[in-house]
């Protein structure tokens, strides 16, 4: 099943939802003027974007909770490529925090000539595809995902918003950004959020007290975000996101893929991901080659 042409636009190999993107918003993004003190979190969809929209303002402002309680997350840390940026960019106080799903090769020229810092958040693709599947069920502006088995194939082939997970990861693993980029995983953040915030604050040159770090972690916990109307997307009208079908902030855990993948699906998924990554698999924190082996073992039992 091909993605619906009336719901997406194409930017090179990427599919962008028309509800939140337009030719004008993409043009604005590609000509955006980055400043040296800007910070941008980069993610593949469903890999921790909303979490970073919560964390970054608090790290940058020293733990002042005002923005996360008064400004919707899509305006407090806007997407580079979405329609909202042009509307709110002049309201962003320095240092500005942004997020993007762009691959590295699409970033605007000013990004490369600036000293803007990047935090790349990566999530186990097994969990990313599960999260994306449920998001497609509740987001009325996206295609019907079909069955989970069908959606796995769409994900692996890149027939989903922002293309293939492997292309996205590879593009950001091989940059010329040097000390401008920091890599962190969704799983690290789940396992020890204060430690992740400590790393982020150090990378951004913020000297936060342990008390402030703990406060930020508490207010950026899954339960706190799920209860915060400025962060849980409950302000979005039902015709765009139907929370009755699935909550936008669903579980906030790692490893939920184990409740969804059959042995055959796991073997198929891991095999394709490993093949697409090639030697890159050796530098990733997920032992997908072992997952593939486990899937084959389970299948033969």
203-252: pLDDT as tens digits = 999 989 999 999 999 989 888 887 877 776 664 544 455 455 444 444 55
Partners of 16 in the β-ladder: 9
- Read off the pTM: 0.89
From 134, 128, 160, 153, select the one nearest 272 (Cα to Cα). 153
pLDDT in tens, 148-191: 999 999 999 999 999 999 999 999 988 989 999 999 999 999 99
pLDDT score recorded for residue 2: 52
pLDDT score recorded for residue 235: 46
C-beta neighbour count of 184 within 10 angstroms? 18
Q: Is 101 a catalytic residue?
A: yes
In the predicted model, what is the mean pLDDT of residues 108-135?
95
Q: Does residue 300 register a pLDDT over 50?
A: no
Q: Does residue 124 register a pLDDT over 80?
A: yes
Average per-residue pLDDT in the chain?
86
pLDDT score recorded for residue 121: 96
pLDDT score recorded for residue 237: 42
- Cis ω on the peptide bond leading into residue 300 (within 30° of 0)? no
- Among candidate residues 101, 136, 168, 219, the one labeled active-site is 101
3-state secondary structure of 99: strand
- Please state, in angstroms and rounded to a whole number, the distance separating the CA atoms of residues 100 and 18: 16
Tokens for 223, please give them.
């339960």
In the predicted model, what is the mean pLDDT of residues 115-128?
95
**For a pLDDT cut of 90, what percent of the chain falls above it?**
62
Map tokens 């959020």 to a residue: 193
pLDDT score recorded for residue 296: 41
- If you write DSSP's letter for every residue of 39-70 in order, what string do you get? EEEEE-TTSSHHHHHHHHHHHHTTS--HHHHH
Cα-trace Rg, the chain:
19
- Please state, in angstroms and rounded to a whole number, the distance separating the CA atoms of residues 299 and 263: 5
Q: Does residue 27 register a pLDDT over 50?
A: yes
32 within 8 A of 92, measured Cβ to Cβ: no
């Amino acid at each position: 099943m091909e993605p619906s042409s009336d719901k997406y636009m194409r930017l090179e190999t990427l599919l962008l939802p028309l509800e939140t993107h337009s030719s004008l918003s993409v043009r604005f993004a590609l000509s955006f003027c980055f400043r040296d003190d800007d910070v941008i979190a980069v993610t593949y969809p469903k890999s921790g974007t909303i979490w970073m929209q919560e964390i970054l303002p608090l790290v940058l402002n020293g733990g002042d909770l005002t923005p996360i309680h008064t400004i919707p997350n899509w305006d407090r840390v806007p997407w580079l490529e979405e329609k909202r940026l042009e509307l709110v960019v002049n309201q962003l106080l320095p240092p500005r925090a942004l997020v993007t799903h762009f691959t590295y090769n699409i970033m605007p020229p000013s990004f490369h000539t600036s000293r803007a810092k990047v935090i790349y958040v990566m999530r186990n693709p097994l969990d990313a595809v599960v999260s994306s599947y449920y998001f497609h069920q509740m987001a009325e502006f996206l295609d019907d995902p079909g069955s989970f088995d069908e959606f796995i194939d769409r994900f692996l082939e890149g027939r989903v918003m922002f293309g293939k997970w492997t292309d996205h990861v590879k593009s950001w693993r091989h940059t010329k950004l040097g000390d401008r980029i920091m890599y962190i995983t969704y799983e690290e953040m789940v396992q020890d959020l204060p430690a992740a915030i400590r790393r982020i604050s150090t990378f951004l040159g913020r000297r936060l007290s342990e008390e402030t770090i703990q406060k930020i972690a508490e207010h950026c916990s899954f339960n706190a975000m799920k209860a915060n109307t400025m962060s849980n997307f409950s302000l979005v009208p039902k015709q765009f996101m139907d929370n009755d079908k699935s909550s936008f902030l669903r579980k906030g855990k790692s490893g939920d893929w184990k409740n969804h993948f059959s042995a055959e699906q796991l073997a198929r998924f891991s095999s394709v991901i490993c093949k697409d990554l090639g030697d890159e698999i050796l530098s990733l924190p997920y032992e997908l080659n072992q997952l593939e082996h486990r899937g084959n073992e389970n299948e033969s039992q």
